[in-house]
Amino acid sequence: MLDPAARIACLETELEETYRSVTELTNDLSAANERLQRLSLFDDLTGLANRTLYHDRFDLIRAVADRESLSLLVLLMDLDRFKEINDILGHEAGDLVLRTVAKRLKGRLRDSDTVARMGGDEFAFLLTFGNGAQGASGVISEIVEIVQQPIEVGTTRVDVGASVGVARYPEDGNDLTVLLGYADKAMYQAKQNGGGFHIHDTSQDGGKKRGPLFFVGDLRNAIEHGELELHYQPKVDMRTFEISGVEALVRWRHPDRGLIMPDDFIPLVERSSLIVPFTLHTVSLAINQLQQWQEAGLSPSIAVNLSPRSLHDLALAEELVELMRDWQQLSNHLMFEVTESALMIDEAKAVRSLIRLASLGVAISIDDFGTGYSSLSCLSNLPVRELKIDRSFIAKMHVHREDLAIVRSMIDLAHKLDMSVVAEGVECRDDWTKLAELGCDYAQGYYIARPLPAEEFAVWSRRWRTTAASH
Ligand code: C2E
Ligand code: CA
Ligand code: CA
């Protein structure tokens, strides 16, 4: 029988041992977990990321690229002659080649880049670039070159080549599967060209006409360096011939490529995080112009187009409110044009944004009206001042009686809802006469004037006023 003191000492030792083994077990378990995790996220043979980790990294890097307006390139690389090496020299030689290539790639890439082995002799990369992916071709050529360096396999020196296909986020798409598909097609093209790399060109897809290719970084530079400018197209009162306002239409004066039209770059703006700086920038340009015109004794109101995405970004609405705070006196000369179809994407959010913007005294106009199937109840609940009949109806109203009937009922509808109505795409005298007959309030289109740079608009408007006075 032990005395109580000896019993306690004994128990303490037992406890200590139990504690030690629990700690050991915990350590073992976490090491095992770590090993398991490594096994499921890394490629066993090369230690590179595997397919699962690659997909994970894409989500992560995409978020950074969005935030910082970086270009993100998705690369797929296939080794040339790998199959022959494997067949002739055996699997061990093949494994050695893969490990050597992986080691060289890891040595070359930055910590922020990702390289993964997707299986077999296929590797995938995620590379980010600021400044419109300048320097990307240099890095990709280097990747090809370091793979091409001879590899010692025992006493044999083998030469492997590489074919690399490149797709760009967000220019070519938002979804990794889509981007990998494009990169795969481009890689095939590179192989056909005898190796090296090939960048996917969306304009070759299905023969669809596409504008020139740009990187997000190019556009960010354009905003920062003041390369975007607004041109102004007048809206004219059909009864008094007075210029009631202008629509601001953005153009990009590219230092090398000349004047670029919005359809060639707005889709990219819409898909990228540039939407916020872009929208704030165009509104600021319009505000500056309003100020200048007011100082010069001109007072047309300016309508700025808001892209569908900016209508669903409540934080952007707040930023616009903030921007306008200093320009309260100009807000009744500003209008926002939002397309009918944009309203329909998320009606509740769009309504909240519009109500917030209208609270500043800025008028709202519904653009491309007739193409978006908006509900009447939605329209009547919104602080909308103007409907713009889509130009496709104006173009067809002389040909199809139904289109004429649609134009007529849109004009009546606008008036019943206490809104004014603008016909866009008025291209000839017949258009004008017909619309005047139907009671349309304002006209806009090439018949009156094309979109003009600010100085030309000033000249045009002086001339218009003198001729309008004689009508
Ligand atoms: P939209 O808002 O429907 O603008 C009217 C487009 O029709 C303009 O093309 C204008 O030049 C053209 N147009 C004007 N009159 C006539 C005519 O009589 N006949 C024909 N056939 N066309 C005429 P643009 O300037 O190329 O703009 C295209 C689109 O780009 C705009 O369509 C608008 O959706 C978008 N956009 C332009 N500027 C901006 C902007 O600052 N921000 C945003 N988010 N989008 C813009
Ligand atoms: Ca418009
Ligand atoms: Ca329009």
Percent of the chain clearing pLDDT 70 (strictly above): 90
Cβ(280) to ligand 1 under 6 A? no
Ligand 1 pocket test: which of 252, 305, 366, 457 has the largest number of ligand atoms within 8 Å of its C-beta?
Answer: 305
Distance CA 326, CA 317 (A): 15
Distance 423 CA to ligand 3 centre (A): 9
Instruction: Look at residue 377 in the predicted model and tell me its pLDDT.
Output: 72
Region 323-348: mean pLDDT is 87
Question: Would you place residue 206 in the very low, low, confident or very high pLDDT band (cuts 50, 70, 90)?
Answer: very low
Question: Would you place residue 270 in the very low, low, confident or very high pLDDT band (cuts 50, 70, 90)?
Answer: confident
Tokens of 4: 């109580």
Distance CA 125, CA 113 (A): 7
The winner for highest mean pLDDT among 7-11, 28-32, 127-131 is 127-131
Tokens of 149: 């360096």
Question: Would you place residue 211 in the very low, low, confident or very high pLDDT band (cuts 50, 70, 90)?
Answer: very low
Instruction: Look at residue 289 in the predicted model and tell me its pLDDT.
Output: 97
Closest-CA residue to 97 (of 115, 117, 112, 125): 117
Cβ(234) to ligand 1 under 6 A? no
Cβ(262) to ligand 1 under 6 A? yes
Distance 413 CA to ligand 1 centre (A): 24
Cβ(261) to ligand 1 under 6 A? yes
Q: Which atom of ligand 1 is nearest to the CA of 390?
A: 3
Cβ(394) to ligand 1 under 6 A? no
Distance 142 CA to ligand 1 centre (A): 43
- Burial class of residue 386 (count of CB atoms within 10 Å of its CB; 0-12, 13-18, 19+): buried
Distance CA 104, CA 151 (A): 11
pLDDT 10s digits, 66-109:
888 888 999 999 998 888 888 878 899 999 999 999 999 999 99
Of 13-17, 45-49, 220-224, the least confident: 13-17
Region 5-11: mean pLDDT is 72
Instruction: Look at residue 25 in the predicted model and tell me its pLDDT.
Output: 62
Of 326-330, 342-346, 467-471, the least confident: 467-471
Cβ(428) to ligand 1 under 6 A? no
Question: Would you place residue 120 in the very low, low, confident or very high pLDDT band (cuts 50, 70, 90)?
Answer: very high
Identify which ligand lies nearest to the alpha carbon of 252.
1
**Which residues have CB atoms below 5 A from the ion given as ligand 2?**
305, 337, 367
The winner for highest mean pLDDT among 28-42, 195-209, 246-260, 441-455 is 441-455
Distance CA 95, CA 161 (A): 16
Instruction: Look at residue 163 in the predicted model and tell me its pLDDT.
Output: 94
Of 165-174, 209-218, 429-438, the least confident: 209-218
Q: Which atom of ligand 1 is nearest to the CA of 269?
A: 44
For 268-316, what is the HEC assignment?
A: HHHHCCCHHHHHHHHHHHHHHHHHHHHHCCCCCEEEEECCHHHHCCHHH
Nearest CA to ligand 1 atom 42: 305
Run of H or E residues at 80: strand 71-80
Instruction: Look at residue 385 in the predicted model and tell me its pLDDT.
Output: 93
pLDDT 10s digits, 403-450:
999 999 999 999 999 999 999 999 999 999 999 999 999 999 999 999
Distance 325 CA to ligand 2 centre (A): 24
**Helices (H), strands (E): how many in the chain?**
18, 17
Instruction: Look at residue 193 in the predicted model and tell me its pLDDT.
Output: 83
Q: Which residues contact 76 (CB under 8 A, 6 or more apart)?
A: 118, 122, 123, 124, 164, 165, 180, 183, 184, 186, 187
